[in-house]
Amino acid sequence: MIDLNLLTDGGVGWLDASGPSSHLVLSTRIRLARNLSSHVYQGRNSETEREEILQSVERAVRESVLLRRPTRYRLDRLDRIDRQLLHERHLVSKELAGLEAEGRVRSGASVLIQDRIGVMLNEEDHLRIQGLHSGFALDETYAEVDRLDTELGQRLAFAFHPEFGYLTSCPTNVGTGLRASVLIHLPGLVLTKEISKVLQGLAQVGLTHRGLYGEGSEVVGNFFQLSNQTTLGSSERELLDHLGKMVRQVMDYEEQARQVLVRDAPTVIEDKVWRAYGLLRYARSLSFEEAMNLLSGVRLGVGVGLIPDVAMYTLNKLLIYTQPAHLAVAEGISPDDADLPLRRARFVRKVLESEVGRRG
Amino acid sequence: MSCDQCREREAVVHLTQIVNEQVTTLHLCEKCAADKGVESPGSAVKTPLGTFLAAMGKGVDQLPTPRTGEACRCGATFQDFRESGRLGCSDCYRTFETPLRDLLRRLHGSTHHLGERYAERETERVPEPEVAMVPPEASHLREQLRLAVETENFELAAELRDRLRVLE
Q: In chain B, what percentage of residues exceed pLDDT 90?
A: 24
Q: Going by DSSP bridges, is the β-strand pair A25-34/A178-185 parallel, antiparallel, or unpaired?
A: antiparallel
Q: Tell which of A256, A280, A297 closes a domain.
A: A256
Q: Is the pLDDT of residue A198 over 90?
A: yes
Same domain, A103 and A154: yes
Q: Tell which of A194, A222, A256 closes a domain.
A: A256
Residue predicted with more confidence, B149 or A45:
A45
Same domain, A37 and A163: yes
Q: Is the pLDDT of residue A4 over 90?
A: no
Same domain, A27 and A102: yes
Same domain, A147 and A243: yes
8 Å CB contact of B104 and A174: yes
What's the confidence (pLDDT) of residue A355? 83
Residues in A closer than 8 angstroms to B72, CB to CB, are none
CA closest to A210 among chain B residues: B48
Phi, psi of A112 (to 5 degrees): -115, 130
β-bridge partners, B18: B23
Q: Does residue A261 sit within a domain?
A: no
Instruction: Give the minimum alpha-carbon distance from B37 to chain A in angstroms, rounded to a whole number.
Output: 11
DSSP secondary structure code for residue B44 in this structure: -
The CA distances from residue B38 to B17, B109, B115, B126, in Å, are 12, 7, 20, 40
User: Are residues B103 and B63 in contact, defined by beta-carbon separation less than 8 angstroms?
Assistant: yes
CA closest to A239 among chain B residues: B115
8 Å CB contact of B116 and A235: yes
Same domain, A232 and A303: no
Q: Tell which of A256, A275, A297 closes a domain.
A: A256
Residues in A closer than 8 angstroms to B120, CB to CB, are none
Same domain, A213 and A302: no
CATH for A250 = 3.30.590.10
Same domain, A115 and A48: yes
Same domain, A83 and A134: yes
State the average pLDDT for chain A: 92
Same domain, A176 and A283: no
pTM metric for this prediction: 0.78
Tell me the average pLDDT across A216-242: 92
Q: Does residue A113 sit within a domain?
A: yes
Same domain, A293 and A181: no
Same domain, A273 and A142: no
Buried b / exposed e across A155-175, counting CB within 10 Å, b at 16+? bbbbbbbeebbbbbbbbbbbb
What's the confidence (pLDDT) of residue A215? 67
Q: Does residue A225 sit within a domain?
A: yes
Residues in A closer than 8 angstroms to B119, CB to CB, are 160, 162
Q: Nearest CB to A163: which of B103, B113, B119?
A: B113
Q: Does residue A32 sit within a domain?
A: yes
**B55 SS3 class:** helix
Domain interval for residue A329? 266-359
- Residue A249 contacts by C-beta under 8 Å, 6 or more apart in sequence? none
pLDDT-based confidence at residue B47 (cuts at 50, 70, 90): very low
Q: What was the ipTM of the complex prediction?
A: 0.86
8 Å CB contact of B108 and A208: no
Same domain, A247 and A109: yes
Domain count, chain A: 2
Tell me the average pLDDT across A170-195: 96
